[in-house]
């Protein structure tokens, strides 16, 4: 398959602040690979719905999963137009003027239509990839899905055909004359951080916190 080097299209072209628009494949993949939750937009009878979901990107597809009974997943598997947005908040940009306050962020928007992934082996592979995306190293220590569980699970693949990203980085950009103000300006970095794991109350006390969980929390606890 010929691979386009970027995902730009009429629909994805960033119109506001076009200098923030990014269509590069690698940049978009990086945002998709760093996020844990996407927001999935779709339309039913003219009404937009936006629902948070975990997801994983594998090659040129975004995968969603959930119960076979999910109205949203069934609609997505049926091929309704979807918009999948992943937003990483990197910091609050504190300017000298209210007007130039902003946020440092990276967001990726993918447009496409989905289809159900059929076959237990294929579904299992997606769930494995999703697990590795969320908590690398955990899959090998858990009980994998059995046939009944796979049957209950609907997996939907959305090919990444049109996509764009918006990225803002760096310090505030104040009007020149506002630099004379005695106001502190800068960036307050924000990041989604893990804290110490909380064992299941029913966990036997002799089962230690595994390495893949310690690694997630950070080098200090390994």
Q: Confirm if 23 and 8 have CB atoms less than 8 A apart.
A: yes
Q: What is the rounded distance in angstroms from the CA atom of residue 163 to the CA atom of residue 27?
A: 11
Residue closer to its own copies by CB (options 21, 41) is 41
4 C-beta neighbours (distance < 10 Å), count:
11
Identify residues 120-149 at the interface with its own copies (CB under 8 A).
127, 131, 134-135, 138-139, 141-146, 149
> Is 157 among the residues that bind its own copies (CB under 8 A)?
no
- Name which of 110, 79, 114, 84 is nearest 11 in CA terms: 110
Q: Taking the complex as a whole, how short is the minimal distance between the CB of residue 140 and its own copies, in angstroms? A: 11
Q: Considering only 1-9, 22-30, 115-123, 179-187, which stretch makes contact with its own copies by CB under 8 A?
A: 179-187
- Name which of 73, 213, 35 is nearest 141 in CA terms: 213
Backbone angles phi, psi at 29, to 5 degrees: -60, -40
Residue closer to its own copies by CB (options 2, 89) is 89
Identify residues 37-66 at the interface with its own copies (CB under 8 A).
37, 39-43, 46-52, 54, 66
Identify residues 68-97 at the interface with its own copies (CB under 8 A).
69-71, 81-85, 87, 89, 91-92, 94-97
**Radius of gyration in angstroms for the set of CA atoms belonging to the chain, rounded to a whole number:** 21
Q: Taking the complex as a whole, how short is the minimal distance between the CB of residue 73 and its own copies, in angstroms? A: 9
| Of 24, 60, 132, 178, the one binding its own copies by CB under 8 A | 178
Identify residues 187-216 at the interface with its own copies (CB under 8 A).
187-203, 207-210, 213, 216
Q: What is the rounded distance in angstroms from the CA atom of residue 176 to the CA atom of residue 73?
A: 50
Residue closer to its own copies by CB (options 25, 101) is 101
3-state DSSP call for residue 195?
coil
Q: What letters, b where the CB count within 10 A reaches 16 and e where it falls short, cover 187-206?
A: beeeeeeeeeeeeeeeeeee
Identify residues 5-44 at the interface with its own copies (CB under 8 A).
11, 15-16, 36-37, 39-43
Q: Taking the complex as a whole, how short is the minimal distance between the CB of residue 6 and its own copies, in angstroms? A: 20
């Amino acid at each position: 398959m010929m691979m386009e080097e970027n995902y730009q299209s009429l629909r994805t072209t960033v119109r506001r602040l076009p200098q923030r628009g990014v269509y590069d494949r690698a940049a978009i993949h990086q945002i998709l690979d760093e996020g844990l939750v996407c927001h999935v937009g779709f339309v039913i009878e003219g009404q937009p719905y936006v629902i948070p979901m975990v997801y994983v990107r594998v090659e040129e597809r975004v995968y969603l999963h959930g119960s076979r009974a999910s109205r949203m997943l069934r609609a997505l598997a049926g091929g309704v137009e979807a918009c999948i947005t992943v937003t990483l908040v990197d910091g609050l940009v504190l300017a000298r003027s209210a007007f130039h306050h902003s946020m440092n962020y990276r967001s990726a928007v993918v447009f496409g239509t989905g289809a159900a992934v059929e076959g237990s082996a294929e579904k299992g592979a997606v769930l494995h990839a999703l697990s590795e995306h969320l908590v690398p190293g955990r899959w090998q220590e858990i009980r994998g899905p059995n046939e009944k569980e796979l049957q209950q699970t609907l997996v939907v693949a959305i090919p990444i055909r049109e996509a764009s990203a918006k990225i803002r980085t760096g310090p505030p950009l104040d009007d020149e004359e506002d630099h004379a103000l005695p106001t502190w300006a800068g960036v307050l970095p924000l990041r989604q951080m893990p804290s110490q794991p909380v064992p299941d109350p029913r966990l036997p006390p002799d089962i230690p916190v595994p390495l893949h969980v310690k690694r997630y929390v950070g080098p200090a606890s390994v």
